[in-house]
């Protein structure tokens, strides 16, 4: 993030460098805001069978996404440093936020269907919500891989960074979902976090 502060302070060497950092920072902010908005819409749809749950999900689902990212970020940036990769932390964060945005697009695309089933089917609604969440996670992981391998560095090191990023985000997401439960109207295996998943 030093680059961002230096850009605002005018300390970077050239106007082009300052412009590049500010452009990336703007992209990170835009993708982050859209991700949280789309996650909130999905949360509203997932809890549509209960007004109180739907309203709670407006903040709980974006909160889970935000906290998962913040919890995983130190491991991701430390891995970048240990692998001696040339891309800046801002480049890695930009790749991460873009992949989260694409994952949230999957959630948004399923939101109307999830809302309909939340109203009409207590049995299938949580299954559909979990399927859409799983597809969003898969899309996010594939997108993160695609974004990170474009960065400057050897392919094995970039693959290690991708693997650490996906595992760290997945582990954080799993436990934070458990803390935020209930998100769906019916308890699921993910409501107990890693203990619930492992015991199945």
CA distance 194 to 5: 38
Mean pLDDT of the chain: 86
Q: How confident is the model at residue 9 (pLDDT cuts 50, 70, 90)?
A: very low
Q: How far apart are the first and last CA of the chain?
A: 41
Nearest one of 132, 172, 137, 121 to 41, comparing CA atoms: 132
Q: Coil, strand or helix: which one is 155?
A: helix
Q: Is residue 92 pLDDT above 90, yes or no? A: yes
Q: How confident is the model at residue 182 (pLDDT cuts 50, 70, 90)?
A: confident
Q: Coil, strand or helix: which one is 173?
A: helix
Ramachandran angles phi, psi of 106, nearest 5°: -65, -45
Query: For residue range 110-160, what is the model confidence (pLDDT) as tens digits?
Result: 999 999 998 888 888 888 999 999 999 999 999 999 999 888 888 899 999
Domain ranges of the chain: 2-199
Of 16-20, 117-121, 136-140, 187-191, give the lowest mean pLDDT range: 187-191
Nearest one of 72, 79, 78 to 97, comparing CA atoms: 72
pLDDT value, residue 22: 86
If you average pLDDT over residues 186-199, what whole number do you get? 60
pLDDT value, residue 6: 45
For residue 10, count other CB atoms closer than 10 A to its CB.
Answer: 8
């Amino acid at each position: 993030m030093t680059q961002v502060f230096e850009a605002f302070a005018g300390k970077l060497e050239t106007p082009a460098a300052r412009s590049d950092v500010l452009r990336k920072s703007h992209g990170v902010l835009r993708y982050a805001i859209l991700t949280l908005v789309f996650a909130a819409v999905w949360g509203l749809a997932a809890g549509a069978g209960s007004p109180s749950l739907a309203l709670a999900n407006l903040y709980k689902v974006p909160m889970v996404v935000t906290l998962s990212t913040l919890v995983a970020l130190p491991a991701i940036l430390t891995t970048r440093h240990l692998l001696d990769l040339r891309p800046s932390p801002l480049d890695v964060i930009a790749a991460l936020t873009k992949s989260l945005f694409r994952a949230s697009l999957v959630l948004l695309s399923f939101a109307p269907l999830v809302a309909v089933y939340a109203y009409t089917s207590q049995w299938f609604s949580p299954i559909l919500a979990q399927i859409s969440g799983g597809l969003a996670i898969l899309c996010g992981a594939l997108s993160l891989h695609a974004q990170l391998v474009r960065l400057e560095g050897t392919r094995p090191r970039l693959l290690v960074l991708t693997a650490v990023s996906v595992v760290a985000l997945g582990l954080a997401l799993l436990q934070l979902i458990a803390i935020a439960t209930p998100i769906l109207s019916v308890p699921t295996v993910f409501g107990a976090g890693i203990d619930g998943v492992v015991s199945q």
